[in-house]
Structure 1
Amino acid sequence: MLSRIGNRDVAKALANIVWLGLERVTQIVVAIVISGLLARYFGPDAFGKWQYANTLLLVLAPMTWVCGAEILVPTIVHRPAGEVGRVLGSAFVLRMAVSVLALVATWAWIAFGHLDALVGAMLAGLAVTMLFREPLVGVINAWLQSMTYSKPQLAASMFTALVKAALVYAFVRASAGFASFGWLWALEAAAIAGLLLHYYRKRHGGTLGWEFDGRLFRQFASAGTVFWIGLVCMYLFLKLDRLMLERFISFADLGRYSAAQQLNENWITLALMLAQTIAPAFVYRVQDTKLLKRNIIRLVAMTAALMIAGAIVLDLLAGFIITRVFGPDYEGAIDIFRWAVWLSVPAGIEAIGNLVVLKYQAKFVLLTKWLLALAVAFVVDWIAIPHLGGHGALIGLAVGYLAAASVNLYYIRYRLSA
């Protein structure tokens, strides 16, 4: 089919979309299977600690996202082929330096006993992923994106995810220690990095050819700072519910809440996949203001309808889904899941509005939006969680998403008012 498409760029983009869809579906299925295995094996208390360790990792990881793809990919595209090694080498040194500092700080935090012993042991292995994800996988993925060819990275991600699922099953069957599972995530990140390094070297005659350039290093360190801080705020907002809940409820209840939220986050991922898929054709390439506004209205309506329909189905099947995936010990997660799935509606609408912010590279709008969402959610969580527990955390997320969507709406009306 793709061979019949005359425009080579369109064909490559469509192929990328297909691979992206396959990879996302694989990751969602694998995540659900692994969560079910671990939830049953750990029990609610240890599973709550596992989820809290993962939450801490996902809050720490954005610190390593300095010099993001929005900076690195255009730099690669606009540089002669002979300078790509210098660009990638400089970005690698910067990201590795930041990642090493983040890992050392995390291990020191654990060593000083600021965390529950099991949480710290789990996080010690999980944190090693920071050495591979951004310095190696992120840099090579930026090079692949510059060629509109993400297949190698997506294929490696799918393969290692399936292998990880098999290893998790083997560890469960062998009654492995709870803390040892964190090192499987580190092994997965190292494997993806190794596969992509092998592919890059193969494409470049068996050599890496990366060089350090001090001028590029300083440029990358300063460029994209606002975007970077905005993304850090976004991830803090997305994980704030579990960070706040840990102070007010038991790890067992946190495990049940996290079980419901993990399934819900996989559902919300569909909204993000939809946004990524349709963005180039319906937003990024559209220059006519009236057509763009019309497209955004239609996309918001379509996304809202899809999310509402899906939320209705998931709400009705909540009991069946939770007990089949996590087991009878997690029945307390059913009501949380029934309410949580409705967060997909404001999350999906926000994702569509965010496309306009990204189209015009409105970095201060992005930063303002997630700072506002984070601040509003924190206030609501602080008031609601002590009285309502997990339901209070869901209210905080809902209010935060609405705040972010409101900023998007304000910017769209301002930017497309002509």
Structure 2
Amino acid sequence: MSTFALVKNKFKSKFIKNTSWLMFENIFRMVLSIIVTSLMARYLGTHNFGVISYGTAYITIFATVSKLGIDSILVHEIIQNREETGKMVGTTIVLRLLSSLLSVLIIYVIVAYLNPDNSTLQLITFIQSISLLFVALDTVGFWFQSNLESKYAVISKSVAFILVSIWRLGLIYFNASMTYFAFSTILETFVIGAFIVAFYFKFKGQRLGFSAQIAKRLLLRSYHFIIAGLLITIYTQISRIMTGQMAGESAVGIYAAAATVSSLWVFVPNALIESARPLVMTAKSKNEGVYVERYKKLLCSIIWFGVIASVIITALSKPIIIIVFGNEYIESIGVMAVLIWSRIFSLIGTARSIWLVSENFIHLQKYFVGIGAFVNVVLNLMLIPFYGAFGAAIATLFAEVFSSTLALLLFKETRPLLGLIIESLLFKGVKFKDSNGTHEQA
């Protein structure tokens, strides 16, 4: 066997192990999450669970802001400049700490302004926002990712998640107040950061440093990703915030419970998308026919997997909600039945990025996300005052449909993509066997 073949097989084996660790983390977190979230939601009730979820929406939005979009380029930068790894990681941590401090202040000002008479909500959100400071340490995890050693990041996150789960179960057992649950977010991010940094130094990672030149380079390359990432996060989280403002915290609790269950299964098609990404992109430069076939195969797989999952979960929505969350969350049944279908279009939107990158139209991504965010906000303003959490779910569904499919008609460059989506839905030109009759991976 040639040296090239040995290196290729070794890399392939390492890639499979790396992917397996990531898949294990998703399954592990899904199972433990649904158990702990179920018990916590029952204990807190719709109102208090809604308060926690309302604060989490802000943290999710500003976590994207504080990361500065560098996630999208850091691994590539490390791979291309191994000798500057320590400075790049250290510089990114400093930049994120500064942006996190600013984010904590902005969150407090916004929540205090929108809810001047709700000191409890202000306190809970402020406590949760402190976790953004420790998220900066998670930057070290990209060093492991660049070396295909994700298992150490997975171990750190799994240990943190277990500790936080024990913490939450302990709070339930000792009848603790809602305020203590807000500290869960801080605990999780602190443990993840501490473990990842410890692993970094254990495996002799380069000394961390700061470089103004590297900081400028990273920020200049990442600002497009900051805009796109912020729009995506606002797009996905704005419904909770607007529901809280217009329908109250209990409605947020109803929406959050439904959203939790409706999103549990998406890690499977997401894993399929990530696995297919390099195969589709590689085919683009070699054979246009194979490229189109592979992409349609991917679309067909995620669409019909989503349809089957949505039909099953919709049919079982009532027993699922009652068993997992209890009778207090009975209103979540209708909300979940709507949100589950929005996930299919969300997955199409995720797969869309593969086509946009392959066709050199990635600059259009921010427009699709922006359109989705705009539609979501407008429909939320119209529907939430009358239908509460259910109205927010309807707004999310229509926003996803418009952003991932109908909006493609607005640009002549992306109209062919809508054709591919429709053909994939109808199995037109989709073959799951190659010319020899053997199965081919999508």
TM > 0.5 fold call: yes
Query: Partner residue of 1:25?
Result: 27
2:222 aligned residue (218, 221, 224): 224
- Structure 2 Cα separation of the partners of residues 42 and 202 of structure 1: 40
- Structure 1 Cα separation of the partners of residues 414 and 288 of structure 2: 11
Q: Name the stretch that deviates more: 398-407 or 121-130.
A: 398-407
1:125 aligned onto 2:123: no
Once the two structures are TM-superposed, the CA of residue 5 in structure 1 deviates from its matched residue by 9.7
Structure 2 contact 66–100 (Cα < 8 Å) conserved:
yes
Counterparts of 1:310-325 in structure 2, within 5 Å, are 310-325=309-324
Query: Partner residue of 1:37?
Result: 39
Once the two structures are TM-superposed, the CA of residue 319 in structure 1 deviates from its matched residue by 1.3
- Structure 2 Cα separation of the partners of residues 232 and 178 of structure 1: 29
Once the two structures are TM-superposed, the CA of residue 77 in structure 1 deviates from its matched residue by 0.8
Structure 2 contact 50–252 (Cα < 8 Å) conserved:
yes
2:248 aligned residue (242, 247, 250): 250
* Equivalent position amino acid for 1:212 in 2: F
Query: Partner residue of 2:299?
Result: 300
1:151 aligned onto 2:158: no
Query: Partner residue of 1:194?
Result: 194
Counterparts of 1:131-210 in structure 2, within 5 Å, are 131-133=133-135, 135-137=136-138, 139-204=139-204, 209-210=207-208
Q: Specify every segment of 5 or more residues in structure 2 that has no aligned partner in the other structure, as ranges.
A: 1-5, 420-442
Q: Specify every segment of 5 or more residues in structure 1 that has no aligned partner in the other structure, as ranges.
A: none
- Structure 2 Cα separation of the partners of residues 415 and 341 of structure 1: 24
Deviations 1:184-227 (CA, angstroms, capped at 9, x unpaired): 2211111111111111111117xx61111111111112222111
* Equivalent position amino acid for 1:53 in 2: G
Once the two structures are TM-superposed, the CA of residue 358 in structure 1 deviates from its matched residue by 4.5
Structure 1 contact 296–353 (Cα < 8 Å) conserved:
no
Query: Partner residue of 1:378?
Result: 377
Once the two structures are TM-superposed, the CA of residue 284 in structure 1 deviates from its matched residue by 5.2
SS state at 2:245 partner: coil
- Structure 2 Cα separation of the partners of residues 222 and 415 of structure 1: 30
Query: Partner residue of 2:11?
Result: 9
- Structure 1 Cα separation of the partners of residues 389 and 110 of structure 2: 27
- Structure 2 Cα separation of the partners of residues 52 and 349 of structure 1: 27
* Equivalent position amino acid for 1:174 in 2: F
- Structure 2 Cα separation of the partners of residues 127 and 233 of structure 1: 20
Identity of aligned residues (%): 20
Tell me the TM-score normalized by structure 2: 0.86
Query: Partner residue of 2:398?
Result: 399
Once the two structures are TM-superposed, the CA of residue 22 in structure 1 deviates from its matched residue by 0.7
- Structure 1 Cα separation of the partners of residues 46 and 59 of structure 2: 20
* Equivalent position amino acid for 2:131 in 1: T
* Equivalent position amino acid for 1:390 in 2: A
- Structure 1 Cα separation of the partners of residues 365 and 318 of structure 2: 37
With over 3 angstroms needed to count, the CA separation of the structure-2 counterparts of 1:284 and 1:101, relative to structure 1, is farther
- Structure 2 Cα separation of the partners of residues 260 and 335 of structure 1: 9
Query: Partner residue of 2:422?
Result: none
Say how many residue pairs are matched: 410
- Structure 1 Cα separation of the partners of residues 356 and 67 of structure 2: 19
Tell me the TM-score normalized by structure 1: 0.91
Once the two structures are TM-superposed, the CA of residue 371 in structure 1 deviates from its matched residue by 0.7
Structure 1 contact 284–359 (Cα < 8 Å) conserved:
no
- Structure 2 Cα separation of the partners of residues 215 and 362 of structure 1: 30
With over 3 angstroms needed to count, the CA separation of the structure-2 counterparts of 1:300 and 1:414, relative to structure 1, is closer
- Structure 2 Cα separation of the partners of residues 251 and 67 of structure 1: 31
Once the two structures are TM-superposed, the CA of residue 20 in structure 1 deviates from its matched residue by 1.0
With over 3 angstroms needed to count, the CA separation of the structure-2 counterparts of 1:108 and 1:340, relative to structure 1, is closer
